[in-house]
Structure 1
Amino acid sequence: MATTLMRLCAAAIMAVASGFSPAKEWPLTIDTHVDIPQAYMQKARFDAGADSVLKVDLAKMERGGLDAAFFVVYVEQGPLTAEGYGRAMRLADEKYDAIEALVQQNPGRIRLATGPQQVRQNHQDGVLSAMIGIENGYSLGRRLDRLDAAHARGARYLGLTHTGHNAICTSSGERPEFGDVPAGGKGLSGFGRSVVLRANRLGMMIDVSHASDACVREVLQASAAPVIASHSAAHALVPHPRNINDGLLRGIADSGGVVQVVAYTYFLKPDPAREAAEQALQGEVAKLAGAGEFDSDLHDGHPAYVVGMARIDAEFPIATLDDYMDHVDHVVSVAGIDHVGLASDFDGGGGITGWMDASETANVTRALRERGYGDEEIEKLWGGNLLRVWAEVERIAAGAGA
């Protein structure tokens, strides 16, 4: 009861601070992409039920008025071999276990939500929602039954790929060390089409963030259900390979889907000098730590990294809420207000000045209001559109039968 009262009081304060109409309930806020480290809920510093180094933990969600988040089962691309697939599956299973631990160890504060109605009910009950998304279908191996198993564990969107081509489709970025070449016109594989169709039948949303343009086009043709981009920005403003061009923005909208605009500095504001400085620092810190390569889970807290990042932040400022709003405005202008949402990519590189962690979530609502968005539009952007798409994906699956 005390936790619920605290959250309701925090929500009221956030509503006033953000300028949201006091005559309406504070909008249900959903972040569609929150990464978790491999040691999530295993090491004290990654215990999201306590004060932590994470950008998203329960206290920060409660303070900032972030009601729900898709916690992401991400596995880095590796070799397309039996050994590589086996390792990816093991790492993915550890992350499912960790998300389950978060929920089980914090009853009364957060619940797992596997459908849009559960998200709404949790919000009504004053309880946070944890949802699960997959980033990189590499963790499926070449097995459709792994998709069914992921769905059984609560996964409700499938990010087809990450950086590097996999057995499902080509990526917006290559990993030459695994034999990748530029995607060209190659998109979905035959196995990838089977994955899309199986996801449709399971009621799992297909996520095309990180996919190549050819893959996005072919997914839009193949999928019987609306498609999402869980964390992407506008290519017309910043021509980064990870951003989505206007034609594909319209295509996702035409599918009935939604594009979740991401608060990741390099997709919002190009800064090659900062990228180079960060990469050099990571190499230095890895060497100091006696590691072959930089691992954010292990090295983010290294004193040399903390000092170095402070220097880089001062010399090369990251994107701001204004930069973020420029991308939101553009995607709304192209795709329409009913097909846009919001995502942070926190703990996966996301974070901008004004929205550095979940505790600053109310700043985003304030920025939307300053750009002229009204209460109903803000509700759509913060979660209404995503919940509508999710419900439609479930409806189509129910009609098809699993």
Structure 2
Amino acid sequence: MEARMKRILSLAFLLCSAGQAQDHPLTLDTHVDIPLSYMQDPKFDAGQDGVLKVDLPKMRRGGLDAAFFVIYVEQGPLTRAGYAKAVAQAKRKYDAIDLMVQRYPEQISLARTPGDVRANKTAGRLSAMIGIENAYSLGHDLKRLDVAYARGARYVGLVHVGNNDLCGSSLPRKELGDAPDSNLGLSEFGRAVVRRANALGMMVDVSHASDACVRDVLALSRAPIIASHSSSRAMTDHPRNLPDDLLAAIAAKGGVVQAVAYKEFLKKDPERAAAEKALQARVAKAAGDKDYDSEKHDYLPSYVEGMKAIQRDHPLATLDDFLDHIEHMVKVAGIDHVGIASDFDGGGEITGWMDASQTRNVTAGLKRRGFSDDDIAKLWSGNLLRVWAADEAASTQQNPMPVGQRREAWNDTHLYGYG
């Protein structure tokens, strides 16, 4: 009876939402993180209005139509054991996204093409897309890129924090043996991944990559590329942001850079960063843990109250700070080559856009800055969907692995596993 009632309520909600489907431009967020226990731990059930910054009720309230949910793994050692762990963690996240759309089919669907996103918008249904953050999760096996595509991944972020087997990171990690100024370009494996992504019609994402890697990708890729969540280095001098010359270069090849609402990329505040690090250490120690674990500790009352105190003493970057970055990036790259990302549930949050329920604030802010409705539609989704379609058109092999085979592929220990 309870399951039947949930289905009735979901259908009623969908019918109501369909009538409102055109009350705002198609809004698409290119970077939303998910925890490792997504959809398994009840507090991380996306169908509930809970602790996540992006869940289905918040998306509805805020008018966020579509989001790329991210297959992120932390960078580890380039060893058999390291690769095996990354592959296993990635599989858990693919399975979790599958579970979300299976559990709430009337509310959200997996979108594999730009057309799917638009059709879902028309029907009043939310869209879930999949992006890869840190291709370390490929386990140094090119065949896994085909598996990722079959499971729905439509962009591949080459690297995260720390150099990997594909290319250099904008933030090398000393504990992994990286030189702080390494600025490495693409490796041979990285080049193979870019070529294969082009063949599949999968967008190549250079957020987190070193400047040298970005230049190598621009030279190699025969399709437009994206930066799924990077803001302007000219506005805030942070290695994760892109300098003007690379913004312009990505635009010149038809790509798009998604400005990101991540506090440290919009406002330099070393005192806040130090306070957060100290809080994390205290909370982890009080919980009896050696190291801080965001998934475990961020939701403890001591952490929540500690963050409120930090916010009072060291306020976050604001929506206006974010809009300043967007305006500058548009001046450099052009209105057709800038988009919007939150990095919600991965550290993204700014005063005025703290979670998906406040998404309309961004649209209102853009209007106050003088952007036209057409320009706002481009920033929210039009530019990204254009690049996605261009990458599909440039591909040489569509649907390389039938969808029905994707689970079997992940469980094939000879091809995809480590036994």
- What is aligned with 2:290? 292
CA distance in 2, matches of 1:102, 1:364: 26
- Superposed displacement of residue 7, structure 1: 2.0
User: Structure 1: where are the runs of 5+ without partners?
Assistant: 16-25
CA distance in 1, matches of 2:15, 2:339: 28
CA distance in 1, matches of 2:382, 2:269: 33
The one-letter code of the counterpart of 1:3 is F
Q: Retained in 2: the 8 A contact 1:10–1:63?
A: no
Q: Work out which of the residue numbers 367, 383, 386 in structure 2 matches 1:385.
A: 383
Cα separation, partners in 2 of 1:314 and 1:228, compared to 1, 3 Å: same
Q: Secondary structure at the match of 2:191?
A: helix
CA distance in 1, matches of 2:156, 2:202: 7
1:177-230 Cα distance to aligned partner (Å, 9 max, x none): 111113545200011000000000011100000000000000000001001000
Q: Retained in 2: the 8 A contact 1:73–1:134?
A: yes
CA distance in 2, matches of 1:401, 1:110: 22
- What is aligned with 2:256? 258
CA distance in 1, matches of 2:286, 2:246: 44
- What is aligned with 1:18? none
Q: Work out which of the residue numbers 174, 177, 181 in structure 2 matches 1:176.
A: 174
Q: Retained in 2: the 8 A contact 1:170–1:183?
A: no
Q: Work out which of the residue numbers 87, 108, 111 in structure 2 matches 1:110.
A: 108
Identity of paired residues, percent? 62
Question: Is 1:72 matched up with 2:82?
Answer: no
Q: Retained in 1: the 8 A contact 2:167–2:190?
A: yes
- What is aligned with 1:21? none
Question: Is 1:315 matched up with 2:313?
Answer: yes
Q: Tell which deviates more after alignment, 2-11 or 239-248.
A: 2-11
1:125-164 Cα distance to aligned partner (Å, 9 max, x none): 1100000000001101211001111111100000000000
Q: Retained in 2: the 8 A contact 1:113–1:119?
A: yes
Q: Secondary structure at the match of 1:232?
A: coil
1:249-308 Cα distance to aligned partner (Å, 9 max, x none): 001101100000000011001100000000010011110111111111100111211111
1:318-358 Cα distance to aligned partner (Å, 9 max, x none): 01110000000000000000000000000000011110000
Cα separation, partners in 2 of 1:288 and 1:401, compared to 1, 3 Å: closer
- Please give the TM-score of this superposition, normalised by the length of structure 1: 0.95
Cα separation, partners in 2 of 1:124 and 1:398, compared to 1, 3 Å: farther
Q: Retained in 2: the 8 A contact 1:80–1:167?
A: yes
The one-letter code of the counterpart of 1:161 is V
- Superposed displacement of residue 244, structure 1: 0.2
User: Structure 2: where are the runs of 5+ without partners?
Assistant: 1-10, 401-419
- What is aligned with 1:144? 142
Cα separation, partners in 2 of 1:185 and 1:58, compared to 1, 3 Å: closer
- What is aligned with 2:12? 2
1:19-40 Cα distance to aligned partner (Å, 9 max, x none): xxxxxxx210000000000010
CA distance in 2, matches of 1:215, 1:320: 30
1:95-132 Cα distance to aligned partner (Å, 9 max, x none): 00000000000011000001101001111111000000
* 1:3-402 mapped onto 2 (5 Å cutoff): 3-8=13-18, 15=23, 26-398=24-396
The one-letter code of the counterpart of 1:390 is W
Q: Retained in 1: the 8 A contact 2:71–2:130?
A: yes
* Corresponding pairs, count: 390
- What is aligned with 1:23? none
Q: Retained in 1: the 8 A contact 2:201–2:398?
A: no
Q: Secondary structure at the match of 1:247?
A: helix
- What is aligned with 2:407? none
Quote the RMSD (CA, aligned, Å).
Answer: 1.3
